Structure formats: C-alpha cells, structure tokens
Structure 1
Amino acid sequence: MDVVTVGETMVLFTPISKGQLRNAHTFSKTYAGAESNVAIGLSRLDHQVGWISRVGHDEFGKSVLSFIRGEGVDTSQVQLDSEAATGVFFKEVRNPKDVRVTYYRNGSAASRMSANDLDEEYLKKAKYLHLSGITPALSASCYEMVKEAIRIAKKHSVTIIFDPNVRRSLWSEEQARRTLLEIAENVDIILPGIDEGAFLLGEKEPEKIAKRFLELGPSLVVLKVGAKGAYYFTETESKLVPGYLVEHVVDPVGAGDGFLAGFTSGLLDGLQIEEAVQRGNAVGAMVTMVEGDVEGLPDKQEIEAFIKPNIEDVQR
C-alpha cells in the first residue's frame, strides 16, 4: 500500500443554477471529503491507496462506498454504522470568487470513528499516512483515533503527511490551534496554506512560518501560497515553485487536496522535492478548471500533457 488516509466523506449537493442557495430548485449529487479527494487523486495517478472511515448504513453511505471503491481506492477498512447517518453538505456558487459551503455533519457516522476502527496490521503496510486537521475536529473520539494512527505510523516508520486544513466552524480557534500544533509536532511533512500558517503561528512571512514549523518537528514544510505556487523548506534548502496560470477558475474548492495528491504522488515516484511540488501545483491548478472536488483530478497522461507545455513556455 502506498498511502492510507483517514477521514470523513459526505454527499455533496450543488445547485444547477448559480446564485443564492435559497433560490435553487435542482441539484447535482456528488461526493467529497478532503481525505477521499486525496485518495482518489492518488489512485488516478496509479498509486495504491486505502481509505479508513465510517459511513451510515443508509443509501447515501452505500453510494459513497460505491463511488470511492469505483475509483480504485481500497475501502475494506470502512465501517457501516446503523445508528448514525452519512453527512451531507451543500455548495453555493454565487460567482467563481464567492463559493460558500454549508455542512450538515453533526452526529454523522464519521464523527463516531474511534481508535477501535484502526487495524495496525493494515496501517503498517503503508509508505505514507495522510491526515488532515478536519478529522480531529469532528469529535473527541476522532481526535483519539488520529493520535492512535500517528502512534502506529511512528512505531512502524510510516511517513506521516499532514494538511492542517483548518475548519474554524468545527471548533473554537483556541482548540483548533492547540490541537493542530500538537499534531504538527508528531508528523514528518506538513502542508499548510499561508493563511493557516498565520492562524496557527501568528506569523505572516513564509520564511518565519516555515522556521517555526521546522522547529516543531516536521523535516519538510510545503507552504501553499495560492496562484503564486508553493514554497518548500527543509533545514538546508528552500525555494518558491511557481504555480500555473489559470485564466478562468471554474471551482476553487478541492484545489488543496489536488495539490497534496500531486505532491505525494511525486514523492512516491521518486521525484525531487521541487518536482513533486511542481506536480502538486499542476494538479491543484487542473482541479480549479472543472466543477466539483474530484472531477478535475487528472491521470498520469493528463498531468504530463499539462506540465510539459507549461515548462516549455517558462523555458522560452
């Protein structure tokens, strides 16, 4: 197994029409969750990925499982919960620069995940464990599960890659900051956005954010700076890897998950850090060009076709 990820996936309803949600009458139904977005992105890039979660023993839960399994992701560790429902959320696209998301996930099946849902034998086979800051925010038992996953990964030398993915609506700022920094102390690679770095550390300069994170424990910090691209920092080197110009952003939601999938894919393929970040930038850009969280995630041929002409433009 290349990567194992842990987290909630929900059913996503998006109005067919743009504008305020109150005026919508018809919706498309898809699926999204930060961790499963990453899992699907990696699967499409020819990697073996496992997803650990819990869904309701309901029609929505069954459809989530069918969809993710259909993308080539191993769902053998997903539990069906007969006592709680699968979470749902709604995307409101008022315009390309104003996309709002409303969640209905309190008490969802995934919020009932616990350390008992983890199989050490399964986790220890992975090369990477991917975690996001969303999962520990769902409930106390989810937080304990994340800590146990980290313990198992460290015991078996599985590299831990962490996206803080700050969701302020899920918990207090104080609790979010304390918990996410505690997790950051125990991971190998961290991929915050620059705004998340400012929120967690009170710093605004990329170099200061990276220095603080490196002092906490990670050996590699990848700092996303939107359309400009992403920096990477280790104890010995740092560089800004430019992003890709997207003339028309259709849907920005899911770009960060696409970035993480592309970056992790690069590491798995043995690329240098700069090249892995470049692949992450490319996947993130491609996601914004298509409506939906996973619909724009490319396969290997598509990502290579996208990167090559862009590199040639830079070289000219």
Structure 2
Amino acid sequence: MLLMLAEPGMPLERATHFRRSVAGAESNVAAGLARLGHWARWIGRVGDDPAGEAVLRELRADGIDVSCAEMDPQAPTGLLLRDSHPHRAIDVQYYRGGSAASLLSPAQITPEALAGVRVVHVTGITPMLSEQAAQATRTLIERARQAGAAVSFDPNVRRKLGTDHDWIRVVGPLLREADLVLAGEDELELLLGGGAGEGAKALLTMGRARTVVVKRRDHTAAAYTDAGQWERPPFEVPVVDPVGAGDAFAAGWLSAWLRGLDEPSALAEAACVAALVVQAPADTDGLPTAAARDRALTGFTRGTDSVHR
C-alpha cells in the first residue's frame, strides 16, 4: 500500500501535513532483508496509477526484485493513513477494499517466481484480503514446497480485516503449514486456543514447524524448537513509532536463519533490528544495513561508544 503518515504527534483527524511512504507487512520484511544484504523478491499487485508507481519505485530503491509484481489497470493501489505517537494509541485507517492487492490470484504464483528461493515469507493479512487472495496464498505455499523453499509465516492479525472466527478459519490452518512461525503471543492464543507456549509446542509436534518464535506482550521473545527453548528480553530504546516492529523482528530473524546462526544469536539480531526501527518514523525508515545492525548490536550488548566515528 501507499502509506500517508501524519506529522509526528498530530492526531489523524487534525493532521494537515503527511509524508508519503510504503506500507505492507511482506514488503516491510523484503525491505529489511534487502538492506541486510539478502536478495529479496516481492510478489504482489498495485494499481497502474501514481500510487502504484511510487510503491514500486521505493521497493526498487531498496534493491527488491519486483519483476513478479503486477500493475492493475482497473483496480487502485491500496492506501493506508495513520498518525504516529510514542505514548498513545495510533490511529490506522486502511483503504484497500477492491484494491489491486486484494485481487491477487493463484495464476500470479508461477513456479518461475519461486525458482531458487530458500525461504518464502507470507503473513495472514494477504489471505484475509479476499477469497481469491487466500487461494493465491495456498498456491504460494504449495509452490514453495515444490521449489524446496522453507515457508515462513507471521499471522499479523488485523481485526479490521475480519472477525476472530474469520481469522481462525482462514489463517489458523496456515500456521500448521509453515516451517518457521513468527507470531505474537495473543495471535497464537487466538488462532490455536490455550497458552502461546503450549501452542508453540503443539505446532512443533503436530504441524510442519521446525521453529516457532513467540513475541510476547512484554516485548520479550522466545524461540521454540525440538532441541529446546531460548528467551530474549528487548533492548531498551526510546520509541518514536512502534509500527513496523514486528516486521523488522521477522526480517532480523530470517536474516540470521539464512546465515545459519543459532537461536540465541537470531533472537538478538531480531530484537536489535526491531529496536532500530521503533526509533524512527514510518515502517521502514529505521531498517539497518548489516553493518549498522552489527554496530548497534555491539553497542546494545557491550555498552560501546554510541557514536560511530
């Protein structure tokens, strides 16, 4: 979607100045991985309109491959309006009913689009946009299996997209199809019932999951595998804008996973990337390069000079 972000601290209904950016859970993760030095491809749809041109231009600027993106001459690019404040609830308004993204279809998920990929990341938002998008998501998971890629899944529950029952019906089964699950504590409780820890262990035994990472309400995180459980507290940083932290965490985790790091190191890198993102406005402004991540992580863990000279 195109993101129009109100001036800092101003309530959305009173804002007169907006900054244009890009929003979208999967595109945020793609941007995070690209900045961390990984090749990333975004498969999606925008309108053949100025907003769509702006979205694709910004994705390209981050080094994301958009060769499999489509521009729809009939449907518009989705729009997100929101404000930004570190100490009160943020007002987020979505305008994506009938958008190009909601018309994503299985036909767009070709084997060629996934050739050679190591991991395919998707969130629960996409299948909740429409029944057609849900079919495309299921096709994506099937194609990923055929390509030998791992499936990474983040429920990313957005209640404006449907009732609790809708999320349980549409997104709940997808958790069991993922190799890597990155979910909020409340999301696992909703989609699986019971406690998040019990849900994570159930996915390891009854689903395909090799790793389940739970982002808790207190901002700690835990990783579960058959080999054990690891926990990570958050890095204490001043928060400018909390939106995008979950996607940044996912990008940090996936980067570590792609590089073969162990779970404690992956949790630390994920927490570091998330901590950098919440210190900047918009969803992607704070996403670091690999060098910036490493400098920040050293500063967080060893208390080194915060000024890079």
TM tier, smaller: over 0.9
- Cross-structure match for 1:288: 278
Distance 1:276 1:26, change over 3 A: same
SS in 2 for 1:222: strand
Task: Quote how far apart the aligned CAs of 1:313 are.
Answer: 4.5
- Aligned match for 2:201, one of 211, 214, 220: 211
- Cross-structure match for 1:196: 187
Task: Quote how far apart the aligned CAs of 1:21 are.
Answer: 1.8
- Cross-structure match for 1:261: 251
Distance 1:228 1:175, change over 3 A: closer
* Alignment partner of 1:101 is 2:88: no
Task: Quote how far apart the aligned CAs of 1:124 are.
Answer: 3.0
- Cross-structure match for 1:3: none
Q: Which has the larger displacement, 304-313 or 155-164?
A: 304-313
- Cross-structure match for 1:142: 133
Q: Is the 8 A contact 2:8 2:83 kept in 1?
A: no
TM (normalized to structure 2)?
A: 0.94
* Alignment partner of 1:279 is 2:269: yes
Q: Which has the larger displacement, 271-280 or 290-299?
A: 271-280
Task: Quote how far apart the aligned CAs of 1:227 are.
Answer: 5.2
Q: Is the 8 A contact 1:233 1:239 kept in 2?
A: yes
Task: Quote how far apart the aligned CAs of 1:78 are.
Answer: 0.5
Q: Output the amino acid matched with 2:69.
A: V
- Cross-structure match for 1:6: none
* Alignment partner of 1:111 is 2:102: yes
Alpha-carbon deviations, 1:110-158, whole Å to 9, x = none? 1011001112022131000001000000111100001011111112221
Q: Output the amino acid matched with 1:38.
A: V
Task: Quote how far apart the aligned CAs of 1:18 are.
Answer: 2.4
Q: Work out the percentage of aligned pairs sharing the same amino acid.
A: 36
Q: Is the 8 A contact 2:111 2:147 kept in 1?
A: no
SS in 2 for 1:50: coil
- Cross-structure match for 1:306: 296
Q: Which has the larger displacement, 111-120 or 166-175?
A: 166-175
Task: Quote how far apart the aligned CAs of 1:188 are.
Answer: 0.4
Structure-2 separation of matches of 1:95 and 1:43:
27
Distance 1:295 1:301, change over 3 A: same
Distance 1:227 1:173, change over 3 A: closer
The RMSD of aligned alpha carbons is 1.5
- Cross-structure match for 2:82: 91
Q: Which has the larger displacement, 268-277 or 221-230?
A: 221-230
TM (normalized to structure 1)?
A: 0.92
- Aligned match for 1:48, one of 39, 45, 70: 39
Q: Output the amino acid matched with 2:279.
A: M
Q: Is the 8 A contact 1:129 1:159 kept in 2?
A: yes
Task: Quote how far apart the aligned CAs of 1:226 are.
Answer: 4.9
- List alignment gaps of at least 5 residues for structure 2: 305-309
Structure-1 separation of matches of 2:37 and 2:188:
31
- Cross-structure match for 1:186: 177
Structure-2 separation of matches of 1:17 and 1:69:
27
Q: Is the 8 A contact 2:31 2:59 kept in 1?
A: yes
- Aligned match for 2:67, one of 55, 72, 76: 76
Distance 1:172 1:226, change over 3 A: closer
Q: Is the 8 A contact 2:30 2:64 kept in 1?
A: yes
Q: Is the 8 A contact 1:201 1:212 kept in 2?
A: no
* Alignment partner of 1:39 is 2:44: no
- List alignment gaps of at least 5 residues for structure 1: 1-9
Q: Which has the higher strand share?
A: 1
Structure-2 separation of matches of 1:97 and 1:231:
27
Task: Quote how far apart the aligned CAs of 1:95 are.
Answer: 4.9
Q: Is the 8 A contact 1:251 1:292 kept in 2?
A: yes
Q: How many residues align?
A: 303
